[in-house]
Structure 1
Amino acid sequence: MFKAEAVMYDCPVNVTVSRCLPREFECKDRITCIHKSWKCDGDKDCPDGSDENMANCPIRKCRPDQFQCHNHACIPGHLICSGQPECADGSDELDCGTEAPKCDQKTHFHCGGNVCIPLTKVCDKRMDCPNGEDEPGDKCGHNECTENNGGCSQICVDTPSSFFCDCMPGYKLMDNKTCDDINECEIPGACSQLCINEKGTFKCQCVNGYAKDPNDHTRCKPMEGHASLLFARRHDIRKISLDHHEMTAIVNDTKSATALDFVFRTGMIFWSDISDQKIYKAPIDEGSERVVVIKESLTTSDGLAVDWIYNHIYWTDTGRNTIELANFEGNMRKVLVRDSLEEPRAIAVNPLDGWMYWTDWGTEPKIERAGMDGSHRQTIVSYEVKWPNGLTLDLVGRKVYWVDAKLNVISSCNYDGSSRRVVLYSPDVLQHPFSITTFEDSVYWTDWDKQAVYKANKFTGKDITAITSTNSLQNPMVIHVYHPYRQPDGENHCQAVNGHCSHLCLPAPHINDKSPLISCACPDGLRLLGDGLMCVEDRKYKIPFREWGGGYSTQGGDDKYRQDIIGPHFTCATIAIQNVVLVE
């Protein structure tokens, strides 16, 4: 192994170290970090708006080939009136002209151009169209439907001067005459859960644990439990009953609580505190009995997820640029993902299928997934994504939902990234969404600018409702629905003799019916032998750092050990690595 001596030079007294990276802009609140390129872009990204402070942001002038949005941002000129808003305020899609009105053939007659008149004025021996098209002479009083049903496959409707074809309920016109079955199951939200298409109709079913709403048989309701919302609020963690919106504090006096998750089976909650740089746990009803789970080598954990079946916690660290795991006691710690991560934030896991999902709002924003053992990593969302703050899984619908604070949208897709769609776009309602969760037919999210919790229909984005009053919650952070159905029961395939693993036994990603169920892994500092079961001590680069109280850095490589010793945000110290020798 390499042996080295580290020398640290003195820093000025009372130097404040920013938690933001060199490529980021630190908001005035000294909490929020954004990309430097977002400063003075006309879109308020800091909760306090300090990135758009007019004293520091002169009004921009766009090039002649660009369009200037109402918020002064510049976009390529060819993107205006494209049908897709490129400006954050949507001003590039204003005043784009209007299409000629389309006449409803069931009630109106089209004279041509932009003129429509009621059918009652057709063949009334008065010319109401500019050129008398409504008085076709020989066609008035002729019923085309008497001849071969007008060629219509189902319904023929006679009009004063012509006719049109129509379809029975559950069918639609494929051309002007032929009807075919409507697949209602292709319509988002036609059923809450399971949808079965039939000729001319459809029927809805519910998964185990749910029953049809007696007032609407297309909707499913849980058969037990009362749902609540858990959310962090920097200085405390709160719980809101969804029945009567009663709010209670379950953990008080936190410095900067950010990410959280829970184990419903045991009533335990876990949360990260980015000021303390620790992860804690406590019984949900006894928040004062907190215990430190992770206390070392943690920089900024904005995302945390609990594997309620195999009993591990997973978290993102945007300072160390890692995704890590440990057991509920904080032992058996392991870095699962460390390459090609810039700004990992939200994370969610599905131990039933062995997959984890996370967002990254770095220079190439994306949403990725990998097995909960770190294998089979892949990008599932890579375009039209800028600041994916929050992410959640709909385990019943098998969907991924996320909020984008830069694009002001809530979007969804299948687990593999297919069938992507925008659920809600609203610069007014989604001003700065941070976290999202889902339950039944609703999505819930926190918004920094509005300082509130909202909900909307998860299929249509409609029925937007404020769960809390606006400006009543300072710094609302990560949010979760607290209900047993959010963590359905599943088999722990590691339970018997720890899956024959010497250390970590993790769920493997379910790719097909022949995929392995579990995967053995080793905590940091150990390596897996060829048998795939046993871990032994690994040779690592160990660097003594006497100035920091002794001990060793256990990461290899120049950049890694510098980062491990002083942290990636340290800006005033200079480290010199000297006398590197190989030690057996």
Structure 2
Amino acid sequence: MDLQIWVYEYLILKFTFSLVCAQSKILFATQNAFIKEFDLQTRKVTVLLELAATVYSIDYDYKTKQVYFPRYFNNDIMRFGYPTGCIVVHKVVSTSNRPAGLAIDSTHNHIYWTESVGSIGRIVRCNLDGSNITVIAHSLDYPFVLRLDVKNSWMFVVERFLKISKSRLDLTEQQLLENIHSDVTCMDIDMENERLYWIVDNTGNLNSAMVNGSDFKTILNTNCKSTICNNKAIDIFGTHIYFSNHNQLAMSNTSKGLDFTVLYNDTNRIDSI
């Protein structure tokens, strides 16, 4: 019995250690340049993939250990295995116009993404292998960011110059969460505390609200305002907020009023985390 308990505790510790190690890395894409890996412990930056393409979102399928990303002007979605000793990129599916936001539903083996021609956009879904392409929403106004809460069956969408809204994965029960009066190109969800975080491009404000739209507040000002400086990416992990300040990878806390720390300066703008 003691041996069984020891083995059980050992496996739990090993799994926890592996999870912590995996979460110590941040992947980000730079403008028309690279996908890079940033090690939070060593601050080392490693180039994983040369892009020569515009990528506004990255997501990860933890079941198959694949990184997925849409190429905005190439009209396709790509993937590669990670972590691995050798990066091999595969095309998953060809899209229509300008795929920007992308989210993986590992539970149901789906990819969701946004497309737009000018201001007229839609949301599309397919299987993880690129099959069974289905348009699930039409006539959206410049949809740019897409996040999923698969556990509670919610989809959150930023229509870039108009609003943040949520709906069920089948687009029923649509709810307006926040009206937008200027450009918003990044948003993420704190699943544990059920809060949204997004950055307003022309003010540099990093804002937050509950997933039902209540308790709106400004967490901090990033000191990055368009048109000379853009906030294109944000990622929430635990109590940490990782975001791009144009070419800077920055970190702050989900508590209101705290400042932020610059982790890394790139030579190109950071477009997705």
Same fold (TM over 0.5): yes
In the TM superposition, what are the counterparts of 1:105-124 in structure 2 within 5 Å?
none
In the TM superposition, what are the counterparts of 1:61-210 in structure 2 within 5 Å?
none
Counterpart in 2 of 1:337? 137
* Residue of 226, 242, 248 corresponding to 2:40: 242
Deviation at 1:372, TM superposition (A): 1.2
Secondary structure at the counterpart of residue 225 of structure 1: helix
Q: What amino acid maps onto 2:150 in structure 1? A: P
Give the alignment's Cα RMSD to 1 decimal.
2.3
Q: List structure 1 segments (4+ residues) > 6 angstroms apart after TM superposition.
A: none
Q: What amino acid maps onto 1:405 in structure 2? A: D
CA distance in 2, matches of 1:428, 1:278: 30
Q: Is the CA contact (8 Å cut-off) linking 2:199 and 2:231 kept in structure 1?
A: yes
Counterpart in 1 of 2:261? 465
How many pairs were matched up? 251
Deviation at 1:478, TM superposition (A): 1.2
CA distance in 2, matches of 1:401, 1:323: 21
Q: Is the CA contact (8 Å cut-off) linking 1:231 and 1:239 kept in structure 2?
A: yes
Distance 1:240 1:429, change over 3 A: farther
CA distance in 1, matches of 2:94, 2:143: 20
Secondary structure at the counterpart of residue 387 of structure 1: coil
Q: Is the CA contact (8 Å cut-off) linking 1:252 and 1:288 kept in structure 2?
A: no
Deviation at 1:429, TM superposition (A): 8.0
Query: Which structure: larger Rg?
Result: 1
Counterpart in 2 of 1:375? 172
Q: Is the CA contact (8 Å cut-off) linking 2:198 and 2:234 kept in structure 1?
A: yes
Deviation at 1:347, TM superposition (A): 0.8
Deviation at 1:309, TM superposition (A): 1.4
* Residue of 345, 348, 360 corresponding to 2:147: 348
Deviation at 1:476, TM superposition (A): 1.0
Secondary structure at the counterpart of residue 477 of structure 1: strand
Q: Is the CA contact (8 Å cut-off) linking 2:224 and 2:230 kept in structure 1?
A: no
Q: What amino acid maps onto 1:322 in structure 2? A: R
Distance 1:274 1:268, change over 3 A: same
Q: What amino acid maps onto 1:477 in structure 2? A: D
The structure with the largest strand share of the pair is: 2
Counterpart in 2 of 1:521? none
Is the aligned partner of 1:477 residue 2:271?
yes
Counterpart in 1 of 2:216? 420
* Percent identical: 19
In the TM superposition, what are the counterparts of 1:357-368 in structure 2 within 5 Å?
357-362=156-161, 365-368=162-165
Segments of structure 1 that go 5 or more residues without pairing to the other structure are 1-208, 210-220, 480-584
CA distance in 1, matches of 2:257, 2:106: 30
CA distance in 2, matches of 1:419, 1:292: 41
Counterpart in 1 of 2:189? 393
In the TM superposition, what are the counterparts of 1:540-559 in structure 2 within 5 Å?
none
Distance 1:286 1:338, change over 3 A: farther
Counterpart in 2 of 1:580? none
Counterpart in 2 of 1:225? 20
* Residue of 108, 122, 128 corresponding to 1:310: 108
TM-score normalised by length of structure 1: 0.41
Is the aligned partner of 1:453 residue 2:253?
no
Deviation at 1:260, TM superposition (A): 1.4
CA distance in 2, matches of 1:286, 1:223: 17
CA distance in 2, matches of 1:250, 1:426: 28
Q: Is the CA contact (8 Å cut-off) linking 1:442 and 1:455 kept in structure 2?
A: yes
CA distance in 2, matches of 1:257, 1:382: 26
Secondary structure at the counterpart of residue 229 of structure 1: strand
